[in-house]
């Protein structure tokens, strides 16, 4: 496990703004250090009148090169969805922390792709919350999107962080990542074809804890390249439903899916979990929401990925605002 040190750049990069709801928000750039790597984020403090908010929401970004704002390095991923989520939380009197994962945005990854593990991403949030506690926050709200939702579940289940108040999971995967990848691949290639057999055997091998012993066909190299295999193997050991079961009934958990999401379909397992109507278990489906948490534009299935000015989906805003109100009033 990497040694992680917590630091804050207070003041020099701070700025103050006011929300449309009257709260004052002071934002500052912060960072943590893990070995040779520096991970960076934005900590936004909300003040209501003379009182400072005591609850901090950490926004956990999705997979790939998605940064703390909800944007990527290419023009095909420019959404500002995490900035908009932060504003929604701040409007409810909740301070926010937005972070860049290892090797994404302004965070470094000196060891290269082959040095990164899923469990490293999970453990990083222990340090981010420690920084939040140093800043005076007592209660923690985890807001995870896509793979960030899976990481939020894994971290909460395994670490039971002090001060945890609840979880909000947006388009979280409910099945093992290897199963989800196989579902996606089997729609693109015949399962009994040469490529299909290689893909299934490779996923099974990595899930069992073994790196691949033979080169990948060129068509599958992007998924099974040697440098990504350690991450995949570690990722496949995580079971979202097992983590959900460890937390169920102990903390409020709100799960949101979009019916227009072309990346993550509503999880049958998580939907069934929510249908039991147990205390603190909530699953919502927003009929027009896409993976970017925006309202789908008919006939333009990718439009919400490249227009950062589009607002968050209205159904999500209403349901999430209600959830935040319930969390705020809970003891």
For residue 47, give both structure tokens. 């003040």
How many domains, in total, are found in the chain?
A: 2
Residue 44, strand partner residues = 27, 96
Residue 51, strand partner residues = 48
Identify the H or E element spanning 87: helix 81-91
67 and 183: one domain? Answer: no
Expressed in percent and rounded to 5, the helix, strand and coil fractions of the chain are 35, 25, 40
Cβ neighbours for 235, distance < 8 A, ≥ 6 positions apart: 118, 177
End-of-domain residue from the set 206, 234, 262: 234
Q: Higher confidence at residue 117 or residue 278?
A: 117
Q: Report the distance separating Cα 234 and Cα 117, nearest Å.
A: 6
How many C-beta neighbours within 10 Å does residue 13 have? 11
Q: Is the dihedral of CA 134, 137, 143, 149 positive or negative?
A: positive
197 and 214: one domain? Answer: yes
Q: Report the distance separating Cα 189 and Cα 270, nearest Å.
A: 27
pLDDT average, residue stretch 111-117: 92
131 and 96: one domain? Answer: yes
229 and 103: one domain? Answer: no
Q: Report the distance separating Cα 7 and Cα 50, nearest Å.
A: 26
For residue 241, give both structure tokens. 């439903």
Phi and psi dihedrals of 312, rounded to 5? -60, 155
The per-residue b/e assignment along 92-123, b for 16 or more CB within 10 angstroms, e otherwise, is bbbbbbbbbbbbbbebbbeeeeebbbbbbbbb
End-of-domain residue from the set 219, 234, 249: 234
User: What integer pLDDT is reported at residue 7 of this predicted model?
Assistant: 54
223 and 299: one domain? Answer: no
pLDDT, tens digit, 9 for 90 and up, residues 169-209: 999 999 999 999 999 999 999 999 999 999 999 999 999 99
* Phi-psi region at 277: left, alpha or beta (left = phi > 0; alpha = psi -120 to 50): left
Please compute Rg for the chain using Cα positions: 20
pLDDT, tens digit, 9 for 90 and up, residues 253-308: 999 999 999 999 999 999 999 999 888 999 999 999 999 999 999 999 999 999 99
pLDDT, tens digit, 9 for 90 and up, residues 11-70: 334 555 555 455 789 999 999 998 889 999 999 999 866 776 799 999 999 999 999 999
SS3 202: helix
54 and 201: one domain? Answer: no
80 and 211: one domain? Answer: no
272 and 254: one domain? Answer: yes
Average pLDDT of the chain, as a whole number: 92
pLDDT, tens digit, 9 for 90 and up, residues 219-246: 999 999 999 999 999 999 999 999 999 9
53 and 169: one domain? Answer: yes
User: What integer pLDDT is reported at residue 274 of this predicted model?
Assistant: 94
153 and 228: one domain? Answer: no
82 and 152: one domain? Answer: yes
CATH number for the domain that contains residue 102: 3.40.50.1820
For residue 99, give both structure tokens. 């972070």
Q: In terms of Cα–Cα distance, which of 137, 160, 148 is closest to 56?
A: 137
Q: Report the distance separating Cα 228 and Cα 115, nearest Å.
A: 9
Report the predicted TM-score, pTM, of the whole model to 2 decimal places: 0.92
Provide the domain limits for residue 207: 178-234
Residue 164, strand partner residues = 140
Q: Report the distance separating Cα 199 and Cα 303, nearest Å.
A: 31
User: What integer pLDDT is reported at residue 279 of this predicted model?
Assistant: 87
Asked whether the beta carbons of 104 and 22 are under 8 A apart, the reply is no
66 and 196: one domain? Answer: no
Angle of the 240-247 helix axis to the 147-159 helix axis, nearest 10: 50
Asked whether the beta carbons of 276 and 215 are under 8 A apart, the reply is no
């Amino acid at each position: 496990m990497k040694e992680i040190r917590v630091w804050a750049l207070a003041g020099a990069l701070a700025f103050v703004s006011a929300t449309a709801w009257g709260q004052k928000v002071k934002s500052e750039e912060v960072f943590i250090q893990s070995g040779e790597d520096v991970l960076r984020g934005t900590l936004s403090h909300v003040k209501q009148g003379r009182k400072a908010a005591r609850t901090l929401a950490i926004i956990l970004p999705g997979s790939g090169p998605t940064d703390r704002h909800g944007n990527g390095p290419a023009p095909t991923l420019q959404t500002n969805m995490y900035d908009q989520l932060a504003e929604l939380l701040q409007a409810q009197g909740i301070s926010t922390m937005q972070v860049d994962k290892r090797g994404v945005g302004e965070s470094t990854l000196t060891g290269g792709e082959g040095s990164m593990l899923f469990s490293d991403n999970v453990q990083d949030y222990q340090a981010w919350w420690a920084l939040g506690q140093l800043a005076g926050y007592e209660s923690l709200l985890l807001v995870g999107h896509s793979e960030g939702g899976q990481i939020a579940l894994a971290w909460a289940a395994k670490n039971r962080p002090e001060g945890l108040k609840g979880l909000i999971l947006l388009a979280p995967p409910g099945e093992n990542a290897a199963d989800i990848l196989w579902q996606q691949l089997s729609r693109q290639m015949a399962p009994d074809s040469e490529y299909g057999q290689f893909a299934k055997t490779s996923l099974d091998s990595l899930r069992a804890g073994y790196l691949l012993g033979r080169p990948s066909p060129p068509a599958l190299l992007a998924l099974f390249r040697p440098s990504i295999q350690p991450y995949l193997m570690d990722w496949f050991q995580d079971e979202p439903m097992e983590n959900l079961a460890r937390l169920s009934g102990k903390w409020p958990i709100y799960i949101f899916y979009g019916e227009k999401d072309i990346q993550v379909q509503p999880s049958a397992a998580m939907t069934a979990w929510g249908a039991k109507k147990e205390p603190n278990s909530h699953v919502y489906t927003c009929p027009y929401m896409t993976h970017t948490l925006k309202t789908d534009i008919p006939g333009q299935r990718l439009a919400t990925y490249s227009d950062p000015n589009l607002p968050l989906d209205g159904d999500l805003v209403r349901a999430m605002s209600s959830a935040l109100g319930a969390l705020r009033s809970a003891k």
